[in-house]
Chain A
Amino acid sequence: AQSVTQLGSHVSVSEGALVLLRCNYSSSVPPYLFWYVQYPNQGLQLLLKYTSAATLVKGINGFEAEFKKSETSFHLTKPSAHMSDAAEYFCAVSRYSGGGADGLTFGKGTHLIIQP
């Protein structure tokens, strides 16, 4: 079984400061890992994904994440926060099945607040 733990239901940073959102996973097989962003009353937008290639993954909007197997972590970072980054962020894990990635298991989400 897979599980995802996101540390901190709310994270507040100042505009221009470093953003760090934490994600730890548990998986019985090599995982595929994802970060999604959700704005109010909208669906999910993929920020980035790890699928067993490079451990440092770069995504959209200046976000990146590093897969660390020894720490079972996949933390999301952005060097300089922007007001438009305020949203809900979800870390997710999927298994690989014969037909491709399975349905996702999501963490509880982290609400990112940007202080002006």
Chain B
Amino acid sequence: GAVVSQHPSWVICKSGTSVKIECRSLDFQATTMFWYRQFPKQSLMLMATSNEGSKATYEQGVEKDKFLINHASLTLSTLTVTSAHPEDSSFYICSARVLAVYNEQFFGPGTRLTVL
């Protein structure tokens, strides 16, 4: 149980285009999802907290107009990287919090974004 999937697992796009990454909780309902970013050989940095049916809360320094987050259902959150640039290339990982297990997050496998 508590499986989180991400789609796509990797994506290559041209500079200036937008890319959408999906995060799904497959066998549970997640009222809260988190989005992290990981640069090569570095740690994960929390980008934003996404609550179902409300606006995402972004961490300081994260551009909310560039990283659009939507959490329209209890099993799906999306991250859209708008007008992507090479510096946005990174590993994006989502996690979901199970309502009944409030002190644990389950992580997706990550999405590798490369912007040319």
Chain A residue with the shortest CB-CB distance to B45: A106
> B24 in the interface, Cβ–Cβ < 8 Å?
no
Stretch with Cβ within 8 A of B (4 or more), from A21-29, A38-46, A54-62, A70-78: A38-46
* Chain B, interface SS category: strand
Which residues does chain A contribute within 8 Å of B45, judged by CB atoms? 106
Given the known interface contacts A32-B103, A43-B109, the answer about A101 and B97 at a Cβ–Cβ threshold of 8 Å is yes
Asked if A96 contacts B46 (CB within 8 A), the reply is no
Asked if A46 contacts B43 (CB within 8 A), the reply is no
Which residues does chain A contribute within 8 Å of B64, judged by CB atoms? none
The smallest beta-carbon distance between B51 and chain A, in angstroms, is 8
> B34 in the interface, Cβ–Cβ < 8 Å?
yes
> A87 in the interface, Cβ–Cβ < 8 Å?
no
Asked if B102 contacts A103 (CB within 8 A), the reply is no
Asked if A100 contacts B102 (CB within 8 A), the reply is yes
Question: What's the Cα separation between A49 and B36 when bound, in Å?
Answer: 19
5 new A-B contacts at CB < 8 Å, known A100-B32, A103-B36, A107-B43: A90-B43, A100-B102, A100-B103, A102-B49, A104-B105
The 10 closest A-B pairs by CB, nearest first: A100-B102, A103-B46, A43-B109, A44-B107, A43-B107, A106-B43, A103-B34, A101-B103, A51-B103, A106-B44
Which B residues are within 8 Å of any A CB, using their own CB? Answer: 4, 6, 31-32, 34, 36, 42-46, 49, 59, 91, 93, 95, 97, 102-110, 112
Which A residues are within 8 Å of any B CB, using their own CB? Answer: 32, 36, 41-46, 49, 51, 90, 94, 96, 99-109
